[in-house]
Amino acid sequence: MSCGEIGDATTPTLALSPCHDSEISMNIRTALREAIVRLESDSVPSAALAAELLLLHVTKRDRTWIYAHPEAPLSSDQWQNYFALVARRAAGTPVQYLTGVQEFWGLEFEVTPDVLIPRPETEHVVEVALARMSERASKKLRVADVGTGSGCLAVALATEFLQAQIVATDISSPALRVACRNAEKNRVSTRIDFLECNLLDTFAREGASREADSAPRSRIEFDLIVSNPPYVALADAASLPREVREHEPHLALFAGESGLDVYSPLVRQAEDLLAARGVLVLELGYKAADHVRALLAPPHWRDVGITNDFAGIARVASAIRTSTAQRG
């Protein structure tokens, strides 16, 4: 998919808040205070932070400025837009979908309801990949990011592996358009190819075609495959925060009744498509570690590792593809 062929996202129209008359003036301190009260009354988590982030977004100022200028007036358009956003946050829409941005790996990413919001925990995937590939980081690596969503993993890895060529796949074409824009924003689009397919099906089919073809052709092999796949169990949907359950794309969240449906086919494709000594790095869902560890078994895999996040939860599985096991 060529980034040059991707159109811009449409900016949603904001409804005006009925809370204030358009002739009333309001300063930053008052607006922030009212927004916090509104969000707290609706039991919004981290209400003060949400109110602050939305105010920064509307005013296009940084945090230092708004706290240094609490008496600065908001224009009529600014406070009406602000309280429209506050109302949407109170109704459950995540802040990131309202501001359209989220930071990941020190980089800014566009986010829309077509993609999952990048989480800090997913940065552990990048950390593990860097650690596993440390001796080869300067080489011309071939990397695959499976289920790229916003493109956060592919883009972050492109900024770290400066000689790498990366393939980023997703089953959602709207998600790929967002990922493509993020690659352009972070100036790595020339090294990331975006491909609409399920998992790595396109490459798996190409491999099968070569095996059936008597003419010798080079095999597509990756040095590194990473993925933050869908891993939420359908049975757990009701227990998710409403911000996640009602607003984030279910295609990127859920993986069958157990939440484990994606791991087995993905590991199997990685067995076929990784080069010898190639590395697989997967984000883990709740209680998925034992299941994934069992999939990463000899003779195809060695040096299996499970990395915990800062909360002590098993978050990332990684392994090295052996050089001796036969594919097939």
**Residues 6 or more apart in contact with residue 254 via CB below 8 angstroms:** 230, 232, 233, 234, 237
Tell me, what amino acid is at 127? Answer: E
Inter-residue contact 288 to 220 (CB < 8 Å): no
The pLDDT assigned to 162 comes to 97
Question: In 10 A of CB 193, how many CB atoms?
Answer: 17
Six-digit token pair at 102? 């989220």
The pLDDT assigned to 327 comes to 53
Q: How far apart are CA 201 and CA 207, in angstroms?
A: 10
The pLDDT assigned to 25 comes to 75
**Which parts of the chain have pLDDT scores under 70?**
1-24, 206-219, 324-328
Percent pLDDT > 90 in the chain is: 85
The pLDDT assigned to 323 comes to 83
Q: How far apart are CA 191 and CA 156, in angstroms?
A: 12
Six-digit token pair at 139? 């080489």
Taking only the tens place, the pLDDT of each residue in 234-268 is 999 999 999 999 999 999 999 999 999 999 999 99
Taking only the tens place, the pLDDT of each residue in 156-177 is 999 999 999 999 999 999 999 9
Find, among 101, 59, 97, the residue nearest to 78 by Cα. 59
Q: How far apart are CA 210 and CA 111, in angstroms?
A: 38
The pLDDT assigned to 204 comes to 87
The pLDDT assigned to 93 comes to 98
Which DSSP symbol is given to 275?
A: E
